[in-house]
Amino acid sequence: MLKKIPTYLIALIPLSLIAGPLIAEIIFLVLSIYFIIKFDKNDIFLFKNKFFICFIIFCLYISIRSLFTDQLYISLKSSLLYFRFAIYALAIIYFLNKDNNALRINYNFYKYTLLFLIIDSLTQVFTGKDLFGLEPESATLMRISGPFGDEFVLGSFIQKILPVFIYLVIKKREIVNKIFFTDYIIIIFSFVIIYRSGDRSALGLILFFSFIIFFIYKDFRKKMMLIFGIFIIFCSILSLHNPNISKRIFIDTFGQFTGKHHNDLIKEDSEGNKQNILFFSFHHQTHFQTAYSMFKSKPIIGHGVKIFRFECKNHVEDKKMIPYACSTHPHNTYLQLLAETGIIGFLTIFFVFILTCLAITKKIIYKKNKLNPSDCLLIAIFINLWPLIPTGNFFNNWLSMLYFLPVAFYLFETKKLEKIN
């Protein structure tokens, strides 16, 4: 039974992240310590991977860069601690390899985590409060947050763990030769909750994920068409229940992409001049402009990890715009990397994105009838690194744990295939 503890801890990670990063950090710490104790020379193969090598190079670079910032303690601490995510990923790979039932256990935990989020969110949609009595900030319930309270991260959270669940579903299909009805229900309603959360980036990414699978794999096309048909029906019902959500998802988004802005998509600067919003929203646009200005001032090495919050005010021409142009991060992964780590840090992470892009392109060229489980994870990594969307803080602990889950499962799956071959 003690041998199963690491497997159960890994399976608990998504559920623990609902409560915030603390419990998940403790789980990762326990897994990492146990991994370091158990690790021996026969496990050295874990380190032989392009993703791992890129990540170590990136961590070494940002740590050295942080030594030369004005905010030495904050920047260096964040840079050095970022190394731990490599250990977290390796620990997950190691323990998944050691337990033949690990994927089955993870499948069950992911299934019930998503089921809980679906029930909790639908309760909030129809009663105004979730199962814990939490209600979203918006009185009109245009967006829901489920158990996350004032944080509108519900859609993003489901978008990041759903591909891992689909991977686990396909792995289970290899054993029992079928996908259960409850799995389809959970997948469909996960899509619905992402839509109802009002998180347009999450919705766009999960639809992009689905389109890639639909385009490449013939055996999944009928299933995907059925899922989308039911998804559209439920979204239509929810839009009738609250028309504000369809306005946000469709009308506002269309206005932003076409330049045909509506009232809330046109803003005035401090001198009363009207500004067209070209990038998602007024706040996003001013943040992007500030990050680009920071990058231009130190294009090679950047300003240092987590320095945007301190340096941004020096790169806003109109000082009255500082409240709009400054926060903890610029809300885009690649602009944050350019501003804080320069072209060197940017290219290291962008190289990983290009690797996933090339791997998916290869699969598109050589279309396959059967969906490989690892492909779900590869596509998940690809969409998580997609550059043309607003994002959270790249160096945020909570987000980083979510980013590294599909990476860990993908490396586990590919290492297993290498062993078989």
Does residue 7 sit in the same domain as residue 153? yes
Q: Give me the phi and psi of 283, to 5 degrees please.
A: -65, -45
Does residue 77 sit in the same domain as residue 123? no
The Cα 76–Cα 79 span in angstroms is 5
For residue 131 the two structure tokens come to 């199962």
Does a structural domain hold residue 25?
A: yes
Listed in sequence order, the residues at least 6 apart from 236 whose beta carbon sits closer than 8 Å to its beta carbon are none
Domain count, the chain: 2
Beta strand ranges found along 161-276 (DSSP E): 266-268, 274-276
Does a structural domain hold residue 163?
A: yes
Does residue 223 sit in the same domain as residue 99? yes
pLDDT digits (tens, 9 = 90+) for 107-139: 999 999 999 999 999 999 888 899 999 887 654
The Cα 373–Cα 82 span in angstroms is 28
Is residue 193's pLDDT more than 70? yes
Count CB atoms within 10 A of the CB of residue 272: 6
Does a structural domain hold residue 378?
A: yes
Is residue 403's pLDDT more than 90? yes
Does residue 282 sit in the same domain as residue 317? yes
pLDDT band at 252 (very low <50, low <70, confident <90, very high): confident
170-189: average pLDDT: 87
Does residue 241 sit in the same domain as residue 361? no
Does residue 114 sit in the same domain as residue 228? yes
pLDDT digits (tens, 9 = 90+) for 3-26: 889 999 999 999 999 998 999 999
Is residue 420's pLDDT more than 50? no
The Cα 73–Cα 70 span in angstroms is 9
For residue 371 the two structure tokens come to 């969906």
Does a structural domain hold residue 319?
A: yes
Does a structural domain hold residue 39?
A: no
pLDDT digits (tens, 9 = 90+) for 268-313: 554 555 555 556 677 788 889 999 999 999 999 999 999 999 999 8
pLDDT band at 324 (very low <50, low <70, confident <90, very high): confident
Does residue 61 sit in the same domain as residue 157? no
Strand partners, 368: 217
pLDDT band at 248 (very low <50, low <70, confident <90, very high): confident
The Cα 175–Cα 18 span in angstroms is 30
The Cα 418–Cα 416 span in angstroms is 5
pLDDT band at 71 (very low <50, low <70, confident <90, very high): very high
Does residue 280 sit in the same domain as residue 411? no
pLDDT at 274: 52
Single-letter residue type at 67: L
The Cα 343–Cα 223 span in angstroms is 42
pLDDT band at 51 (very low <50, low <70, confident <90, very high): confident
Count CB atoms within 10 A of the CB of residue 271: 7
Please give the mean pLDDT across all residues of the chain. Answer: 86
Does a structural domain hold residue 264?
A: no
Count CB atoms within 10 A of the CB of residue 206: 24
pLDDT at 2: 72
- Segments forming the whole domain that contains residue 247: 2-33+83-257+368-420
Does residue 282 sit in the same domain as residue 400? no
Does a structural domain hold residue 263?
A: no
- pTM of this structure: 0.90
CA-closest candidate to residue 152, choices 201, 190, 98, 211: 201
